[in-house]
Amino acid sequence: AEHQHARYNPLRDDWVLVSAHRVKRPWQGQLEKPPPEDVPRWDPNNPLCPGATRANGEVNPQYEGTFVFPNDFPALQPDAPEPDDSDHPLFQAAPARGVCKVMCFHPWSDLTLPLMSLPEIRAVIDAWAELATELGASYPWVQIFENKGAMMGCSNPHPHCQVWASSFLPNEARLEDRTQCQYLSQHGVPMLLEYAEQEARRKERLVVENADWLVVVPYWATWPYQTLLLPRRHVCRLQDLSDSERDSLASIMQRLLIKYDNLFEVSFPYSMGWHGAPTGPYLGEDCRHWQLHAHYYPPLLRSATVRKFMVGYEMLAQAQRDLTPEQAAERLRSLPEVHYK
């Protein structure tokens, strides 16, 4: 807790430098602007609101729950042409096709996930699973992710996420596929299944838990209050969850996100996303090495206005953090589970 050391991340096959003493240094750097507290519940000019007109001229329905529609500015399209053949190994290109969708969580713009009811969060989980099934029928990777807050690049305060399905396995997916496959072959058990069992027993990095799930600040965490959401049983994909596991997932997500908001009494920014076994052509393959999990990457470090920057050493050498995962977990664990609002 007092001396610098490096920790190994078996999921990414890399290392993070932990320098806990550096959190005591005075801060004279950039201060972030807290998120606005006066977001209107409905704004006719907000393209994600019910009844609003989007950039392509389409009018949203008067939806009352979740609402899924094609991204008007997709990063991936299904009919992109093949790139030209390379004439040199240092100049390679490959096909990249897919579809991008946006999913609104709720019709109200001023409601984030931690402020939603359990049935409303459960509806989000069901919609995620439906999209994973639908797009995963043909695409090898379906990435569900939420960028929350302007600090994480979110351009619209309305509660929503994105779902990108791709014709290829992205870098993080390929890396986790390799490391989990190697771990299973060497140890005879899925990596993250054993990791969840170990963390449930040790408890020093545990944030919240219930009968089906646990949330930890991972031993190898990079971001200050990064967390990892894990099921207790072996499950490969989001769509494989039972009804009771989806209910308990809604509960533990709500508990975690309330703690996040309570940490600095602010609508807590983060990027989160689900990782599970590849789909499409991989549905018929042996994917036992995979364990479903969700990553939460929040940028805030000391307060609602001081964030962690990944620059300098982090960009040119390796990741570094300024407080131990155990300290972060203890602070999150001790927070109340009633929202500060």
Residue 28 marked ligand-binding: no
**Residue 301: closest CA among 228, 226, 215, 207:** 226
Ligand-binding annotation for 110, yes or no, is: no
309 is in an annotated binding site: yes
From 88, 106, 158, 160, the catalytic residue? 160
Cα angle 74, 253, 127 (rounded to 5 degrees) comes to 45
- According to the annotation, is 314 in a ligand binding site? yes
Say if residue 194 carries a ligand binding annotation.
Answer: no
Q: Is 9 among the annotated ligand-binding positions? A: no
Separation of CA 161 from chain center: 10
Q: Is 23 labeled as ligand-binding?
A: yes
Q: Binding residue per annotation — 168?
A: no
Question: Would you say 155 is a known binding-site residue?
Answer: yes
Dihedral-angle region of residue 153 (phi above 0 means left; psi in -120 to 50 means alpha; beta otherwise) = left
Output b/e per residue, 28-38; b: 16+ Cβ within 10 A.
Answer: eeeebeebeee
User: 77 labelled as ligand-binding?
Assistant: no
User: Is 162 assigned a ligand-binding role in the annotation?
Assistant: yes
Instruction: Confirm whether 160 is a catalytic residue.
Output: yes
Annotated binding-site residue numbers for Fe cation:
176, 275, 293, 295
Q: Which residues are annotated as a binding site for UDP-alpha-D-glucose?
A: 22-25, 55, 71-72, 147, 153-155, 162, 308-309, 313-314, 320
Active site residues: 160
Residue list, annotated binding site: 22-25, 55, 71-72, 147, 153-155, 162, 176, 275, 293, 295, 308-309, 313-314, 320
